[in-house]
């Protein structure tokens, strides 16, 4: 990389052992890929993989595949469970939610889920045991602070632990819980919101308001996330006190990501200038590009069941719509800089462009 423009690794890069202060955001729900994470890591950034839907056995196999794909550091991400999640619903209540979605099942030609299809998420403690045993270089978390045993065992094994905060208070709580670095995730960010101290509606702080406050409040390295898709955003975040940046939507547009073609094609377009927060696709609040489903079901935002029940009810709709090329029924997760996230020929080319743009913006 010496023949090309480069950036100093900063405190975060030195912490995890990467030459560039750039992290690829972890994607859940099948949007991550080993190829994407490995490509970013090989390019000098930190590739990430969202594993919150994986069983312990799948996590073990995943870390082995990532190690085989890259000899450089990478991160595996888990969701910390939130209060009340993981419980099933009475049959009558579940039937009511299925009936609300039945017109979509029928239009897309898929079977409506039954009670046995709506399984609870994998056990978090078992996921954590598998991840610690596999010992990836970095474990990142969203939705809450790390359990004490994770911090203790990670330090023993030399694993870096990264937590995600949506407010200054959350960042302080994460540092007190023992994380090695904090991702300051602004309300601009695409995908699921990770608020854990207060409701999402009270935790919507824009990235460039959040970053300098978090940098002032904690002593560990800070990674800025949300609304950053080009070198101008990287330069701005670093100028505000971030030690690195985490970019999600921009890498989602790369061909190596697990995003469907209809999802990638929606990014970098005038349509993607508008994003909304919605619970309709998973039962947890997430930011994405509004489509026909989001608009038609807007009146039911507060009535859909929590994650993971709503996520399971929507899974066949999302999958069939992606396969049939129907973006009106796909969860088009995207941040508020999505119009800058043009479909990229490769994650390597996008990463290289980010570095060049940042050097130009700071020069």
Residue 361's contacts (CB-CB under 8 Å, 6 or more residues apart) are: 231, 232, 234, 235, 236
Three-state DSSP string of the chain: CCCCCCCCCHHHHHHHCCCCCEEECCCCCCCCCHHHHHHHHHCCCEEEEECCCCCHHHHHHHHHHHHHHCCCCEEEEEECCCCCCCCCCCHHHHHHHHHHHHHHHHHHCCCCCCHHHCCCCCCHHHHHHHHHHHCCCEEEEECCCCCHHHHHHHHHHCCEEEEEECCHHHHHHHHHHCCCEEEEECCCCCEECCCCCCCHHHCCCCHHHHHHHHHHHCCCCEEEECCCCCHHHHHHHHHCCCCEEEECHHHHCECCCCCCHHHHHHCCCHHHHCCEEECCCCCCCEEECCCHHHHHCHHHCCCCCCCCHHHHHHHHHHHHHHHCCCHHHCCCECCCCHHHCCCECCHHHHHHHHHHHHHHHHC
Mean pLDDT score of the chain: 95
- Residue 344 has a pLDDT of 77
Percent share of the chain, pLDDT over 90: 90
- Residue 86 has a pLDDT of 65
Domains detected in the chain: 10-86+122-264+338-362 (3.20.20.70), 88-120+276-333 (no CATH)
Q: How confident is the model at residue 87 (pLDDT cuts 50, 70, 90)?
A: low
- Residue 3 has a pLDDT of 54
For the segment 218-245, the average pLDDT, to the nearest whole number, is: 98
Structural contact between residues 202 and 238, judged by C-beta atoms closer than 8 angstroms = no
CA dihedral for 147, 48, 246, 11, sign (positive or negative): positive
For the segment 326-355, the average pLDDT, to the nearest whole number, is: 95
Structural contact between residues 329 and 317, judged by C-beta atoms closer than 8 angstroms = yes
Taking the CB of residue 147, how many other CB atoms lie within 10 A of it?
Answer: 16
How far apart, in whole angstroms, are the C-alpha atoms of residue 363 and residue 81?
43
- Residue 83 has a pLDDT of 79
For the segment 316-339, the average pLDDT, to the nearest whole number, is: 97
Q: Is the pLDDT of residue 2 over 60?
A: no
Name which of 75-84, 181-190, 328-337 the model is least confident about. 75-84
Q: Is the pLDDT of residue 1 over 50?
A: no
């Amino acid at each position: 990389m010496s023949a090309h423009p480069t950036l100093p690794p900063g405190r975060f890069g030195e912490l995890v052992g990467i030459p560039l202060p750039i992290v690829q955001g972890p994607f859940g729900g099948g949007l991550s890929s080993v190829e994407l994470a490995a490509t970013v890591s090989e390019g000098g950034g930190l590739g990430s993989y969202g594993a919150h839907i994986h069983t312990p056995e799948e996590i073990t196999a995943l870390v082995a595949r990532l190690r085989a794909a890259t000899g450089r550091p990478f991160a595996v991400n888990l969701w910390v469970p939130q209060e009340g999640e993981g419980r099933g619903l009475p049959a009558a209540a579940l039937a009511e939610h299925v009936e609300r979605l039945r017109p979509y099942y029928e239009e897309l030609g898929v079977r409506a889920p039954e009670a046995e299809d709506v399984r609870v998420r994998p056990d978090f403690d078992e996921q954590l045991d598998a991840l610690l045993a596999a010992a990836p270089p970095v474990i990142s978390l969203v939705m809450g602070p790390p359990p004490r045993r994770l911090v203790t065992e990670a330090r023993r094994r030399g694993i870096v632990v990264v937590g995600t905060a949506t407010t200054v208070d959350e960042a302080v709580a994460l540092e007190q819980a023992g994380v090695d670095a904090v991702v300051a995730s602004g309300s601009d960010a695409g995908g699921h919101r990770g608020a854990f101290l207060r409701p999402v509606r009270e935790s919507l702080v824009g990235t460039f308001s959040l970053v300098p406050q978090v940098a002032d409040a904690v002593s560990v390295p800070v990674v800025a996330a949300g609304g950053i898709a080009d070198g101008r955003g990287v330069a701005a975040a670093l100028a505000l006190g971030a030690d690195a940046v985490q970019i999600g939507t921009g890498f989602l547009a790369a061909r190596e990501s697990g995003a469907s073609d209809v999802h990638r094609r929606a990014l970098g377009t005038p349509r993607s200038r508008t994003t909304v927060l919605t619970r309709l696709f998973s039962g947890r609040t997430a930011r994405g590009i509004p489509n026909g489903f989001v608009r038609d079901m807007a009146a039911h935002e507060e009535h859909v069941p929590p994650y993971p029940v709503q996520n399971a009810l929507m899974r066949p709709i999302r999958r069939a719509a992606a396969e049939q090329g129907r973006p009106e029924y796909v969860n088009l997760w995207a941040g508020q800089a999505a119009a800058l996230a043009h479909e990229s020929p490769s994650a390597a080319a996008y990463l290289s462009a980010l570095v060049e743009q940042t050097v130009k913006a700071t020069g």
